[in-house]
């Protein structure tokens, strides 16, 4: 059974700082991995999807990497802004469509 | 603007009530999903439908009954719920069932359900 762990559980940084969110998963037989953000009281917004054959994906200030063999993914956020404040969730997909971690709650302080 | 719309946004019901949650997607997707998000727990997959057929039931109690009349609509019928069923219920869709496709899932904003 796939299990997903996200570290840290919460993070508070000053505006402008670069930061890294970590995700680990126990079953490396995945098809892809998605990173989402969730704002309070809202649904999930897809940020990046990395296919199992890929090492990384980039979108604007976001860069996600995937090391499938070691069961790890990281989300790098450059030049953080207050608008980045949200909970970030990673979810690998394989035999089970998406398995979620508990997320990292990010606060970017102006 | 989300392509996945969920109604109602909030629902308060007693344990003996019957109610339904509705999800509609305007993205032309063929797979739809129900998730449960409880406080301090990861999102839990409940049901998966692919081309209107249920492909997964993640050991969900029978007091939750899904219905998928077509690829654009998904319902979750609720009956005799328990206080521990209070949660945010999220609907999602994707082009095909995740795991068979590298297209992302798109989520609605959820229904906040409170059981009295």
Joined together, the tokens standing for residue A53 give 């054959």
B1 pLDDT higher than 60: no
* pLDDT tens track for B26-36: 999 999 999 99
Query: What is the structure's pLDDT at A97?
Result: 77
B99 pLDDT higher than 80: no
Q: Which residues contact A30 (CB under 8 A, 6 or more apart)?
A: A2, A52, A68, A92, A93, A94
A8 pLDDT higher than 90: yes
Confidence of residue A98 (pLDDT cuts 50, 70, 90): confident
CB contact under 8 A, A96 and B102: no
Query: What is the structure's pLDDT at B104?
Result: 85
Indicate the average pLDDT of chain B. 91
| Look-up of token digits 């029978």 | B62
Query: What is the structure's pLDDT at B93?
Result: 94
Q: Which residues of B touch A41 (CB under 8 A)?
A: 109, 112
Measured in angstroms, the CA of A77 and the nearest CA of chain B are apart by 20
Q: What residues of chain B have any CB closer than 8 angstroms to a CB in chain A?
A: 2, 4, 6, 33, 40-43, 45, 48, 56, 90, 92, 97-100, 102-110, 112
**CA–CA gap between residue A34 and residue A44 (Å, rounded):** 11
Confidence of residue B100 (pLDDT cuts 50, 70, 90): low
**CA–CA gap between residue A24 and residue A6 (Å, rounded):** 6
Indicate the average pLDDT of chain A. 94
A72-100: average pLDDT: 93
Nearest Cα to Cα of residue A24 among A4, A8, A9, A10: A4
A31 pLDDT higher than 70: yes
């Amino acid at each position: 059974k796939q299990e997903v762990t996200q570290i840290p559980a919460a993070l508070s940084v000053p505006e402008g700082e670069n930061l890294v969110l970590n995700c680990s998963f126990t079953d490396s037989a995945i098809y892809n991995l998605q990173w989402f953000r969730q704002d309070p009281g809202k649904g999930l917004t897809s940020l990046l999807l990395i296919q199992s054959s890929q090492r990384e994906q980039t979108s604007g200030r976001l860069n996600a990497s995937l090391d499938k063999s070691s069961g790890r993914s990281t989300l790098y956020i450059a030049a953080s802004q207050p608008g980045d404040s949200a909970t970030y969730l990673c979810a690998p997909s394989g035999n089970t469509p998406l398995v979620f971690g508990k997320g990292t709650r990010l606060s970017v302080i102006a | 603007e989300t392509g996945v719309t969920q109604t109602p946004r909030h629902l308060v019901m007693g344990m003996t009530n019957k109610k339904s949650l509705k999800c509609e997607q305007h993205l032309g997707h063929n797979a739809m999903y129900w998730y449960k998000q409880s406080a301090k727990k990861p999102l839990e997959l409940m049901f998966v439908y692919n081309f209107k057929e249920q492909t997964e039931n993640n050991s969900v109690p029978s007091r939750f009954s899904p219905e998928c009349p077509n690829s654009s609509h998904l319902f979750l019928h609720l009956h005799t719920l328990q206080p521990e069923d209070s949660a945010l219920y999220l609907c999602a869709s994707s082009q095909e069932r995740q795991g068979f496709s590298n297209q992302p899932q798109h989520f609605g904003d959820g229904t906040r359900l409170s059981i009295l």
